[in-house]
Copies of this chain bind each other. A is one copy, B any other.
Amino acid sequence: MADRDRQYVESLARGLSILESLSRSQKPLGNGDLAKMTGLAASTISRLTHTLTVLGYIRLNRAYRGYELTPKNLTLGYPVLAEMRLLEQARPHLERLSHATGETTALAVRDKLHIIFVAVIEGENLVAVRLATGGRLRIPVSAAGAALVAALPEDERRMLLARVRADMTRNGQDAKSFLDTVAACRRDGAAVVRNKWRTGIGGISVPVLHNGEYAALTIPVATGSVSEETMRTTLADALKEVAGILGPVLPPPEAP
């Protein structure tokens, strides 16, 4: 695109990129860190963090000598949670399922090339990673990602797959395994991913369509404790049952 988008407000985008950087960091970040991550000048970062601090979105964590996000950021997600009918209907089922299996259950939606956890019901069985509402994963490393791709109508699915492949290629990754997972999900109705994101972590996921919106029911597991067999049978069946209560069977039946 030769011409700059005249309607795009760069300063706003820069401020939000700081919030995003903080949202992906495990610890508070100093202005120098943020300058490195965003490529912006230190004085620009200083002004932006100052503004975000005055507005209440970040605060300085003195112990770590860096900025962290404040609870005020939760308010930006409130209507998403409060107005999501699917979440309302799915939550009791996810809670029952978590209780019955001992596993963590979650609902995820797609955001471009990532999935975002909308709700996470923690189970007794520990997964060696901190999961919470708002957490996100790249589509190719997550069962929910594969399920969400598999559920799409043909045109959309092809386009999204092309973008995912391009992204993976750009990062020097082989897309074959992911494509196989998507194909398997289309055949079996559930996606299984093991040790893709991290060793020891996997997931089983089933897509659901509700009011024209796609989402994925998913169970992240510790692969050291839960066998692939269990994922493909017990857990998959349980998820499919819930999905069937919430919406039409996905992916739509199709010749192999």
Q: Which A residues fall within an 8 A CB radius of B?
A: 5, 7-9, 11-16, 19-20, 22-23, 25-26, 46-48, 50-52, 54-57, 68-83, 91, 109, 111-112, 116-118, 122, 130-136
Contacts and interface: CB of A to CB of B under 8 A. Distances in A.
Contacts of A82: 130-132, 134-135
Q: How many copies does the complex hold?
A: 2
A109 B116 CA distance: 24
A80 B76 contact: no
A75 to B, nearest CB: 5
A81 B8 contact: no
Given A23-B76, A82-B132, 13 more contacts: A7-B50, A7-B51, A12-B16, A20-B75, A23-B75, A23-B79, A57-B76, A70-B111, A73-B77, A77-B77, A78-B133, A82-B134, A133-B133
Given A8-B50, A9-B11, A76 B78 contact: no
Closest 8 CB pairs of A and B: A78-B134, A12-B15, A74-B134, A11-B11, A74-B77, A73-B76, A81-B132, A82-B132
A105 to B, nearest CB: 14
A46 to B, nearest CB: 7
